[in-house]
Amino acid sequence: MNWLRANINHLTVPLGMLLSLMTVVFGLIAQKKRKEGAPRPYISEGMKNSLIVVLLVCAVLLGIALAKNV
């Protein structure tokens, strides 16, 4: 836990950048498919649940980083 507290900024910034880049790429792919007339991409229940867990972990890490810097 001490390592996490000491290096939280080095973890949250790249993680946030990775999540935002992933969102942009998936959004562009979905937009391209919509323009071609294809239906929206299907996301399985397992993928939805794992994405929710990833977002919650990121939110907790961001909260720790903000609390440490204030």
Cα–Cα distance between 4 and 57 in angstroms, integer?
A: 13
- 38 phi and psi angles, rounded to 5 deg: -75, 155
Cα–Cα distance between 25 and 57 in angstroms, integer?
A: 21
Structure letter (DSSP) for residue 37: T
The pTM for the full model equals 0.60
pLDDT grade for 4, boundaries at 50, 70 and 90: low
- Is the distance from CB of 3 to CB of 53 less than 8 angstroms? no
Q: What is the pLDDT of residues 8-62, one digit of tens each?
A: 777 777 888 888 888 888 888 888 888 888 877 777 888 889 888 988 888 888 8
pLDDT at 5 over 70: no
Report domain extents, the chain: 2-69
Cα–Cα distance between 33 and 40 in angstroms, integer?
A: 7
